[in-house]
């Protein structure tokens, strides 16, 4: 079963604009991860945020986490055509349980 639900399901923007994707999850988490998937490079880990963190940055990526609302957001600033991909949030079971539970993903299209 899917743990998270990404919103929106699809997003189309122009190059240079910012893109925001949201993820909601159901159970308590120790951390939340975001992955990107495109046909060229497969599924790639982007960033991990721990449950005691509220915000994390990596290059043009900014992730926030609100554990009280069981939600996370991924912001991509100054988007590029190469950012076109599906973006998934994923949670693991914590402790020694590393298996990931993914959402359905957001398909981002960045138009040049």
Compute the least distance from the CB of residue 16 to other proteins, in Å.
28
Compute the least distance from the CB of residue 46 to other proteins, in Å.
9
Compute the least distance from the CB of residue 112 to other proteins, in Å.
25
61 binds other proteins per the rule CB under 8 A: no
The interface region with other proteins, picked from 14-22, 39-47, 54-62, 72-80 by CB under 8 A, is: 39-47
Compute the least distance from the CB of residue 29 to other proteins, in Å.
11
Residues 66-105, one symbol each (x = binds other proteins by CB under 8 A, - = not), give ----------------------x-x-x----xxxxxxxxx
Neighbours of 30 (CB within 10 A): 13
CA distances from 92 to 62, 88, 100 (A): 20, 13, 5
Total number of residues binding other proteins (CB under 8 A)? 22
CB 95 within 8 A of CB 30: yes
| DSSP string for residues in 48-100 | EEETT-SEEEETTEEEEEETTTTEEEEEE-S--GGG-EEEEEEEEEETTEEEE
């Amino acid at each position: 079963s899917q743990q998270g639900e990404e919103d929106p399901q699809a997003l189309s923007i122009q190059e240079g604009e910012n893109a925001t994707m949201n993820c909601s999850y159901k159970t308590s988490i120790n951390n939340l991860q975001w992955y990107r998937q495109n046909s060229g490079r497969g599924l790639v880990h982007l960033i991990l945020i721990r449950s005691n963190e509220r915000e994390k940055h990596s290059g043009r990526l900014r992730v926030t986490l609100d554990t009280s609302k069981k939600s996370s957001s991924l912001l991509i600033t100054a988007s590029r055509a190469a950012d076109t991909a599906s973006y998934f949030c994923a949670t693991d079971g914590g402790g020694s349980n590393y298996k990931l539970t993914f959402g359905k993903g957001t398909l981002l299209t960045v138009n040049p």
